[in-house]
Amino acid sequence: MRLNATSHDTIEAMPLASRRAADMVVAALEARIASGELHDGSFLPAERELMDEFGVSRTVAREAVARLAGRGLVEARPRFRPVVRRPGYDTALSALSGIVGQLMGQTGTVKNLYDTRVFLEAALVRHAALHARKDDIGVLRAALEANEAAIPDSARFYATDMAFHATLYELPRNPVMPAIHRAFTGWLRPHWERMPRAPERNRVNYLSHREIYQSILDRDPDGAERALNGHLAAAWEYVRGTFDPA
């Protein structure tokens, strides 16, 4: 059973009556998920149950499940019952993953995503410099210390690098921001993982992180933004050959 989201061409090839039947099944299941009747982590009704309850064909039942999976409302894997996932910011952004993955092959897409990340993080470090609380500074300092300790180990350094930046997204206490960071990380990870790494380069990145941290500690939003922009501009130049060079 193929449970991946059905392509646009496949949907268009379905008879109109089947598309309308799939719309009806999707609407009913979405309502149950929204109401909590189908709660996060529960199994979606089995394919045969959907066919019997709604009086639809196997093709329509599969199409409905595929659409729900495409919207991030269920986790669907071959040979496993689909599992309901509670809608949230991560769900909304993960629903874009397939589209973003296709866009990655287009000239300039990776750079555009990267520039968007720079724009957001510049605002985040300014916010941190102006509004970070004492406990926020402590969390950021701990992330920086973990980053320094990982310099000799490039795999661990990469993880602590992402964790340091993730902390910046946590500071505004806006649940949208961490979800955006996780989305960016997921979309860009395949490209980041191909870039060459070495302890010497890790140390350069750590020093940039330290400069960002120090500006936040000094309550210097302009300095924090300059440090962030310089850090990510240098990082882009270092890895641009691994990404789309346009």
The confidence score (pLDDT) of residue 72 equals 77
Strand partners, 84: 74
Contact 52, 12 (CB under 8 A): no
**Which ranges constitute the DSSP H helices of 81-170?**
89-94, 97-103, 109-131, 134-149, 154-170
**pLDDT above 70: residue 92:** no
State the chain's mean pLDDT as an integer. Answer: 85
Binned at pLDDT 50, 70 and 90, residue 153 comes out as: very high
In CATH terms, the fold of domain 8-87 is: Arc Repressor Mutant, subunit A (1.10.10)
Domain boundaries, given as residue ranges, for the chain: 8-87, 97-239
pLDDT digits (tens, 9 = 90+) for 34-51: 888 998 889 999 999 999
Q: The domain 97-239: what is its CATH number?
A: 1.20.120.530
The confidence score (pLDDT) of residue 197 equals 78
Exposed, middle or buried by CB within 10 Å (0-12, 13-18, 19+), for 246?
A: exposed
Binned at pLDDT 50, 70 and 90, residue 136 comes out as: very high
